[in-house]
C-alpha cells in the first residue's frame, strides 16, 4: 500500500503534538514522533501503531519560506503542491480547485512499506484519516485514487 495521501486543510490542522492522545483515545496504540526543528521548515515525523511505522508525515503551512524542490522556482513546497493539485490531480475540476484555493495547511502522509496486508494497513490508517476530517475541514487526495471529502469521493 505504499502511497502518498495529501490532506489539504482549510481551518488549521491540529498540532502533531496532540495527535497521540487524541488517536489513542479513538482506537489503537498510536505513537507520534515529531522531529524537533527551530527553523520555519515543515514539521516532520512518524505515526506508529503498536510500535510499527504506519506513515511518515510532513506538515506545511502557507507561511513557510522553504524553497521549492529544485531550489530555483521561488515557490515554497506548499505552493508547488497546491499548484500541482489544481493543474494535474484535479483535472481542472472547478469545484475541487475552489476548495484547494482555501488551503492553509498541507499534510503529506507517506504510507510505510510493510509486510502487513494492504487491507490491514488501511484499517489501521482509517481512524487517523477519519479524525483528520473530523477535526479540520479540507480535502484528501490519495495517489492513484482521487479526491475525497469527509465522507465521499469528490
Instruction: Output the tens digit of pLDDT for each of the chain's 154 residues.
Output: 668 999 999 988 888 888 888 888 877 788 999 987 766 578 899 999 889 999 999 998 877 655 444 456 667 788 889 999 999 999 889 999 999 999 999 999 999 988 888 888 889 899 899 999 999 999 999 998 999 999 899 9
pTM of the model: 0.88
Residue with the three cell numbers 505515526: 47
* b/e 120-137 (16+ beta carbons within 10 angstroms → b): ebeebbebbbebbbebbb
Structural domains of the chain ordered from first start: 4-148 (3.30.310)
**For residue 114, what are the contacts with CB-CB under 8 A and spacing of at least 6?**
1, 52, 53, 121
Amino acid at each position: 500500500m505504499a502511497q502518498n495521501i495529501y490532506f489539504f486543510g482549510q481551518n488549521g490542522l491540529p498540532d502533531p503534538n496532540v495527535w497521540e492522545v487524541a488517536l489513542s483515545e479513538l482506537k489503537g496504540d498510536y505513537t507520534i514522533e515529531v522531529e524537533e526543528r527551530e527553523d520555519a521548515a515543515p514539521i516532520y515525523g512518524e505515526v506508529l501503531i503498536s510500535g510499527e511505522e504506519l506513515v511518515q508525515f510532513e506538515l506545511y503551512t502557507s507561511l513557510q519560506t522553504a524553497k521549492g524542490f529544485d531550489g530555483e522556482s521561488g515557490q515554497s513546497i506548499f505552493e508547488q503542491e497546491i499548484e500541482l493539485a489544481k493543474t494535474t490531480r484535479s483535472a481542472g475540476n472547478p469545484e475541487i480547485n475552489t476548495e484547494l484555493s482555501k488551503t492553509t495547511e498541507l499534510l503529506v502522509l507517506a504510507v510505510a512499506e510493510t509486510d502487513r496486508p494492504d487491507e490491514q494497513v488501511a484499517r489501521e490508517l482509517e481512524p487517523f484519516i477519519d479524525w483528520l476530517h473530523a477535526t479540520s475541514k479540507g480535502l484528501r487526495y490519495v495517489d492513484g485514487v482521487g479526491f475525497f471529502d469527509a465522507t465521499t469521493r469528490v
